[in-house]
Structure 1
Amino acid sequence: MTFNTFEEEQSHKDKRPVSHGLTGWIRAKFFQPPQETISTLSDELDLEEAEEISRVGRYLVVEKIAQGSMGIVYLARDPYIKRDVAIKIARFPEQLSQEEVQKYRERFFSEAQCAGRLNHPNIVAIYDAGIHKDACYITMEYIGGPTLKKYCKAKELLPVTKASEIIFVAAKALDYAHRKGVVHRDIKPSNIMITHQGVVKITDFGIAKVDSQGEGRRGLVGSPCYMSPEQVKELPVGEKSDIFSLGCVFYELLTGKRAFYGDNYFSILYKITHEDPVPPSHLRPEVPEIIDKIIKRALAKNPSERYQSSMDLAYDLRVALRGLKEATRRTKMEDVVDYVRQVSFFETFSREQVQEILMASNLIKVPKGRVVVSEGEIDDSFYIILSGKAAVVKNNNTLATIERGECFGEMAYLSGQSRAATVVAVTDSILMKISATLLDRAPQSIQLLFLKKFAITLLTRLAKSNQDKA
């Protein structure tokens, strides 16, 4: 479901009873009983005419299978490739101006643009997009299985282990999207599907935001019960917003109850920003304490207190799953290798190389505000941020903020001199600390990869410094 801005509501005032002023808008928006969807493009589609559609482009329409926030979805057949596909189609009402039609058309195709740049086994694939007569359509991978909505009912709850595995896979898929610059912004049970083979698939990127789009659409966007506090406050949203929404889905998948629920939108949004849900174990005793802690962190009101990446969430879920299962084929080292290889610094390293580096390094958790290295100290170690943010400070001035995938301390290692600045953790962080002495004993191929990364880092920082001066 998508909330529009006050201005967007005014453009549709002929479609519902007029209520003048901001008070009327608030009443209509927040004090009506919650619904699965409110006025969206799919509501504006002429449903009777839509039912008569038999062909879209080269695709043969078989039947209507769903109605989403941005259109109606049909099962169709590609006669050339001989495969089933899903087609999402939207036609716009005749009374809209050309400018409004163009605006909605761009919004509709944003899903194809967002999801089209993603190629991941746990994200629904986009095959095609186009305009058929006066309608827009997107052709995508057909998933015949149910959504997670089916398993959020009290009588349909999955085992704790299975629910955790699903969220673990979804978290890794979201991490991939985030690293590609795409924030979903509408994670909810009906947007996560399970194929008949048991494969998790994230779908519906209709209101997703891409980095290049800036802040994207203004106004409340998302589905009320799964919105993050920053979405409710209409603040810019990033990957931590998706983490909050996924935490809401996890909670509901375990308990059959929504983490934040109320009689109207206002009460739901108030709870999201002011109240914490009861721990899942209070509603379902077999949920272990570690899962309670994971959900509590995912649902933190302050984004800086949440998991700093979806991969951080996935890693903790993997630890929890190891405890939930009586036996596991994977070792802890393999889990850590997977975690580290998701960090951009190590994207060119092989699994074997990452494993060797881990043997010569330490992973440390650093709380927010802790000084990691101090100006003037002599130390040949350097650090890579696996999670969180840190500030580079000199003479009480912050020179830069560095994030996941970046390194610091490498200049002391390369020059053999004392630290030139102080580095402080801005958020709770996970760092890889590497001793230069141990790295010097590593194979030459690994040393060369590090030197290449250091060179790229120096050039990037130099270019940014010159840009700031300009």
Structure 2
Amino acid sequence: MLPSTPTAPQMPPALGRFRPLRRLGQGAQATVWLAHDPRLDREVALKVLLAGATPAHVEAWLHEARAVSRLTHPNIVPVFEADMQGGQAYLVFEYVAGPTLSERLRSGPALRPRDAVELMLGVLDGLQAAHGAGVVHRDLKPSNILLDAKGRARVMDFGIAARLTDAGKPQGIVGTPGYISPEAARGEAPSPQMDVFAAAVMLGELLSGQRLNADPDPWRAVRRVIEQDLALPPGLNAEVDDALRAIVLRGLARDATRRWPTAKAFHDALNEWLHPAVAPSSEAGDTAALEFLLRRMRHKTDFPAMSDSVGRIQRLTLSENESITSLSNEILKDVALTHKLLRLVNTAQFSHAGGGTISTVSRAAALIGFAGIRNLALSLILLERMENKAHAQLLREEFLRSLMAGSLARELCLVQRENEESFLAAMFQNLGRLLTEFYFPEEAQQVRRITRPERRAGGDTSGPAAPVSEALASAQVLGLSYEQLGLGVAKQWGLPESLQRSMRRPDGDVPTRLQDNPAERQRWLARAANEMSDVILQTEPAETHAKLKAMAQRYSRALGVPAETFDAAADQARQRLAQLAQAMGISLAKNSPAQRLLAPLTPTVDDSLSPHELHATLLADPTLQRSEAEVSREQASETLAAGIQDITNAMVENFKLNEVLRMILETIYRSLGFRRVVFCLRDPKTETLTGRFGLGEGVEAVAPLFRVPLRSTPGVAADLFSAVCQKGVDTLIADASVPKIAERLPAWFLGAPKAASFLILPMAVKGAPFAMIYADKALPGGIDLGEKELSLLRTLRNQAVMAFKQAS
């Protein structure tokens, strides 16, 4: 179809009981408005047929309503009503606030292949439901896919849908150029394979970032799909392997009989690619599997050279009889290694040792020590071999992740003489993963796919199932786990037994007591450092700080490292890593996830407990009596820390969101002796935070009174609660009677909820507020918080945000 460009219509008056609010979009035959339904007090999407429609157009309009009304599925936008008002036809749909897929693709960034496949699984789920009801969409394209708040794909606009029972009726050329199937372009009868073809075109565009059949002349695009096979362009992401290409190309087959027969068949093939079947390996075959992999690596020209270099340097640095001269001579044999090593030792982190520029390997070894030189040399040997690989960018990311783990372990190590051993233990704890990326990139990619969370059966997208462990996935793909491969190679290289023990990742929950045994403590330190590196690499920067805080609480007791020092250690490790990367000449693409390893780890706006501009200053009053329920700061910190640990442990397992939230509120309530603690959650219908539950004095009657608007009325100043939550700034009000505070308190607060001092902790995701934790005391100045208590409260609030994200 060749749509014309209609002029923008004026906002219509109310249609039936629906009042249009603003225009959402406009097509050739209709305009879509955001409207309010006063009867059910909700927002809806109102699709209004343009004026002057013929009876045929109105009939086609009602045809869409009849087609969609039979479809009930999470991946289809449902129709609520269809009616006529004053000769004006309109449909009422569920309002989905998210963008269309075409808008998402224009705004960027590009979707990762896994994310593109997961999104398409939802589209195919919706199509299968429509086909099962006898309805073919016939106009599937990115602009007809909405993305809701959870990122779920929702198929919409069945305006030219056809019933499978219409197969015997005459058909015209129906669809959008660029997405229309060959048989639809020939005017053949509707079939599910038409939608399968369009879905394959969309997936190809998601994977490649470009149109597969674009032409300024739409009729040329229609002829091309009849006469030529569509193909995926070259230069795709490395994750798009041959198996995924084959799945997409089958969906693009011009001959419908060679295409996926149903949307479900297409869906199942993609789901199998995303989550390959996993079967446990037998220990009997571990030795044979290791020998097989070692033979494969030995056939690579660089592996024997790397092994020889590692072995020689390792023997020299461990020998009591070798001198600095021997070590220097060994390093000087490799010109490239010598230059890179000297660049490294002249970075800022080693400047204190040199007292000036270090220009010889001998002096570097004397100043930094055997262990330090060994670690730098081993790191550089791995990097040097890696740079010759065709998939160097992916390898740089994994290498930097390992280097970050080593740097973190060194910063968190309590015993100075164990610093360098801790660095190497953490860096080599994932040696098997690193080697697999080096020498078996296809197998490494398959392991990454297996370890992704599985989708739930039956189209349920309420949340991911538990992921397959990396150990099990690597054992299935390689015949032995990453750890077993790393240990096998470490033994071949002659790495010391103590290091090999530290490379074994400890299993189970983090111990709650300090690990007195140095070897066990080093194993746990290496695990913590690697988990922290994974979090930094795989987490959006806005969420990283909160997750690291939670990890600090989990590991601090076992390692004997105060939780508060993890931040400083992570920042110091980042600075050292940035210097090392620059000295090693490691360059990263701008969109590389490894850029996160080099970025500052600082709290975001919604991850801070900083004073608000409305913070009231309370003058000291010697006669003021403290609340009887208030406890000492030391006791408060201990209670907060213990609660955080319990909550962290609960969130590792399958948890219920309400139980975690109640644990968080109880921890806040008990630790600081608050009078009341209330949890408020966004009501999407009214865009208001409403009190749901809480703890403390009369909270059952008080909590329902909380109503915090998240949208400001034009011309009306927001009250204090609304302003705080909209800005996302944690706020402590020491004295609510101060005039500039009192004048901004909302009317609902001045009744039963009224308190003299209170704390507001807004909760937001991507800057959008969705919840709030409130706590108060009866007397002015009753809330006495130090920096440590503020930090722990911030961690609790962030745990609540994380609980919502995991539950969704």
Question: TM-score over 0.5 for the alignment?
Answer: yes
- Which amino acid is the alignment partner of residue 146 of structure 1? P
2:158 corresponds to 1:205? yes
- Classify 1:330/1:64 alpha carbon distance in 2 versus 1 (closer, same or farther; 3 Å): closer
In 2, Cα distance between equivalents of 1:51 and 1:171: 36
Partner-residue secondary structure (3-state), 1:193 = strand
- Which amino acid is the alignment partner of residue 190 of structure 1? S
Q: Which residue of 2 aligns with 1:433?
A: none
2:29 corresponds to 1:70? yes
1:440-464 deviations in Å (ceiling 9; x for gaps): xxxxxxxxxxxxxxxxxxxxxxxxx
1:175-201 deviations in Å (ceiling 9; x for gaps): 111010000000000001101222210
- Which amino acid is the alignment partner of residue 327 of structure 1? T
2:36 corresponds to 1:83? no
Query: Equivalences for 1:301-380 in 2 at 5 Å?
Result: 301-322=254-275, 323=446, 325-328=449-452, 330=454
Partner-residue secondary structure (3-state), 1:157 = coil
Q: Which residue of 1 aligns with 2:133?
A: 180
Query: Equivalences for 1:33-432 in 2 at 5 Å?
Result: 37-38=3-4, 43=6, 47=8, 50-93=9-52, 101-153=54-106, 155-214=108-167, 218-280=171-233, 282-322=235-275, 323=446, 325-328=449-452, 330=454
- Which amino acid is the alignment partner of residue 148 of structure 2? T
**1:91 touches 1:134 (CA, 8 Å); kept in 2?**
no
**1:182 touches 1:208 (CA, 8 Å); kept in 2?**
yes
Partner-residue secondary structure (3-state), 1:272 = helix
Partner-residue secondary structure (3-state), 2:91 = strand
In 1, Cα distance between equivalents of 2:21 and 2:196: 36
Shift of 1:325: 2.6
Partner-residue secondary structure (3-state), 1:325 = helix
In 2, Cα distance between equivalents of 1:154 and 1:280: 21
Shift of 1:139: 0.3
Shift of 1:286: 3.4
Range with greater deviation from structure 2 (122-131 or 230-239)? 230-239
- Classify 1:121/1:216 alpha carbon distance in 2 versus 1 (closer, same or farther; 3 Å): farther
- Classify 1:55/1:103 alpha carbon distance in 2 versus 1 (closer, same or farther; 3 Å): same
Shift of 1:225: 0.5
Q: Which residue of 2 aligns with 1:383?
A: none
Shift of 1:281: 5.3
**2:144 touches 2:155 (CA, 8 Å); kept in 1?**
yes
Range with greater deviation from structure 2 (259-268 or 123-132)? 259-268
- Classify 1:287/1:69 alpha carbon distance in 2 versus 1 (closer, same or farther; 3 Å): farther
Partner-residue secondary structure (3-state), 1:282 = coil
- Classify 1:69/1:115 alpha carbon distance in 2 versus 1 (closer, same or farther; 3 Å): farther
**2:201 touches 2:212 (CA, 8 Å); kept in 1?**
yes
- Classify 1:286/1:328 alpha carbon distance in 2 versus 1 (closer, same or farther; 3 Å): closer
- TM-score calculated relative to the size of structure 1: 0.58
1:373-392 deviations in Å (ceiling 9; x for gaps): xxxxxxxxxxxxxxxxxxxx
In 1, Cα distance between equivalents of 2:138 and 2:453: 34
Shift of 1:216: 6.0
Shift of 1:235: 1.2
In 2, Cα distance between equivalents of 1:284 and 1:261: 21
**1:51 touches 1:64 (CA, 8 Å); kept in 2?**
no
**1:148 touches 1:253 (CA, 8 Å); kept in 2?**
no
Shift of 1:288: 1.8
Shift of 1:264: 1.2
Shift of 1:68: 2.8
Partner-residue secondary structure (3-state), 1:84 = strand
1:91-112 deviations in Å (ceiling 9; x for gaps): 342xx7xxxx211110111111
Shift of 1:272: 0.9
- Classify 1:110/1:253 alpha carbon distance in 2 versus 1 (closer, same or farther; 3 Å): same
Task: Note the aligned Cα RMSD (angstroms).
Answer: 2.3
Show structure 2 runs of 5+ residues with no match.
Answer: 276-445, 460-808
**1:254 touches 1:280 (CA, 8 Å); kept in 2?**
no
In 2, Cα distance between equivalents of 1:135 and 1:214: 31
Shift of 1:219: 2.0
- Classify 1:212/1:276 alpha carbon distance in 2 versus 1 (closer, same or farther; 3 Å): closer
- Classify 1:290/1:144 alpha carbon distance in 2 versus 1 (closer, same or farther; 3 Å): same
In 1, Cα distance between equivalents of 2:105 and 2:207: 8
Partner-residue secondary structure (3-state), 2:230 = coil
Counting aligned pairs with the same residue, the percent is 28
Alignment length (residue pairs): 288
Partner-residue secondary structure (3-state), 1:75 = strand
In 2, Cα distance between equivalents of 1:250 and 1:69: 26
In 2, Cα distance between equivalents of 1:137 and 1:187: 22
Between Structure 1 and Structure 2, the one with more helix by share is 2
1:298-329 deviations in Å (ceiling 9; x for gaps): 00001100000000000011011124535145
Shift of 1:54: 2.9
Partner-residue secondary structure (3-state), 1:66 = strand
Q: Which is bigger in relative contact order (C-alpha 8 A, separation at least 6)?
A: 1
In 2, Cα distance between equivalents of 1:223 and 1:130: 27
Between Structure 1 and Structure 2, the one with more strand by share is 1
**1:281 touches 1:288 (CA, 8 Å); kept in 2?**
no
- TM-score calculated relative to the size of structure 2: 0.34
In 2, Cα distance between equivalents of 1:215 and 1:65: 37
